[in-house]
Structure 1
Amino acid sequence: MTGEREARESAYAALTDETRVRILLTLADQYDEAWSSEWPTFSELREQVGVEDTSRFSYHLSELQDVFIQKEDGRYRPRIAALKIVAAIRAENYKTQNDDKQYEIEQQETEYECPHCDRNLVAAYREHHLYIGCPDHGAAVAYPTPPRATENRSLDAVIDSTLRNHACDVRLLRNGVCPHCWGAAGLSLPRDSVPETYLHQDAPYATAACDTCWLSYPIPIAQTVLGHHAVEALYATHGLRPRDAQIGPHSLTQVSNVRTGEAVPTAAQVVVRLADGSVKFDLDENCRIRRYDASDTRLTQ
């Protein structure tokens, strides 16, 4: 473990110089064009970055090689670590706490009512998270969202894009892939407890977790079928948006019947009902969908 820690510290120490960061940004800007032409040579890259001193540029380039940059046939291309760093920089993820203030969106009332009282849920963006919840009954949504997501977007648009992204995350987790680090991850049940601040404490929960990175959070079992084509078709045929499956009176948590244990043939069963249509899902202990049945003929055509 000590060797792994030292390797990580050494890798990120290479990013402490402004010239090295400019090298990564320059290579990332050429990603699309370079694959159809060629990646830059040493001289071409030095000129593009704007460093006149050849020795100085060579030193900085060597510090980035192997981990962030790969050299092939005298040309330089970014590795996946470099592209991830550039994406995080351009998403404004590295802004300081003082800089965060310019991205904050003050609390606003949403169109959705709290399922436990007659108050509307409120939403806000702060500290790199989108928060939606009831002032009295806790959080319905608390998703990490990069500051770039708020640029030229209303709070409603941030909510929409965040919830769409979360549905994609759940679909990846169902297939054993972490949406953040690509490591082995998944969903599992049962989960015995959830934080007291969660809006749906009375709902049965599963756990989303990655074996490698930080990802770990409770998720209602009903929401583990997010992103499945039968769910999206059911909502679409009833004139509902994809986001409605996660929040509001038609969220999966509100319109689903979830059964676990000996009462069902698999680890869990989720029956989603909307007006005259329904979809039944049989889930294993890792929330993988083993079978599903759509009773609305519009969903099977």
Structure 2
Amino acid sequence: MRHVYECPMRWADLDLLGHVNNVAHVDVLQEARIDMLRRRGSAHGATDDAPAPLTRGSVVVRLEVGYVAPLRLRRHVRVEMWVSEVRAGAFTIDYEVTAGRSSSDDPERDVVLRARTLLAPYDFDADRPRRLTGAERDGLSAFLEPGEPVRRARPGPPDAVWSEVPCAVRFSDVDVFGHVNNVAYVELFQEARIKTFSELTAGLPDDTPPLSVVVARTELDYLRPVLFRAEPYAVRTRVAEVGRTSFVLASELVDPEAPADTAVMARARVVVVGFDPEAQRAAAPPPAYVEALRARLVRADPA
């Protein structure tokens, strides 16, 4: 069984290319997930054939998003959801987003995004993870379509070349639990990525053609809660791979005031693809940008 949610879109969801921004897509996934958990089992009592109320007691541990095609503004997008794995202390929800009222039986449907989230039940009163209850496991199993398990990313090489930018948290980034919302992490990494890329390419010749890119894939591991505060956090970014039409940026959201062994709050890996706005397809970035990115692949000399 799959849960289906039709999420209304907003004009503010668009980016400079007129596409729905990659962060807005993640917000759609959150809206759909909350709808699934809330409708199938409310805080005032779950039924025997519905999940228990996990909307108020679960956190996102890992996010994987593959952007299949650009999406322009429309009234709504259709999100299909199912559970691909249930563990003792975690569960995985898979998503498929289509641009309209299409059926999963239609091979020609317009799929724009596929995603997965690994979630863990959490006791916010005790501020610690907990195990799924029997009722929660049974309810989630009603949506089970077994798939590959989610694997979390490993830390990057210790001698990588990092670019670091400050990153301030807004009050609107905080959810009802007092933590920065999982969608806001994606936006913070986006802000840092744009600033970092501007710094990396600042020395290019004036006649360098403009660069247009889209995000093809995002992977994000949530390691520790980020809280609202006046002092900024920091995001450090490195160039992990450079291909013909794409490149990979790896980032870490860190607390500069924390000890080194607990400083990393989240890790992200983003695949960015050069894009031709006129042809609306992938295109190789101008050579000057590729050279600037490849220069950052050189690791720093060991201390």
Bigger fraction of residues in strand? 2
Bigger fraction of residues in helix? 1
Higher RCO (CA-CA < 8 Å; seq separation 6+): 2
Question: TM-score of the superposition, structure 2-length normalised?
Answer: 0.25
Larger radius of gyration: 1
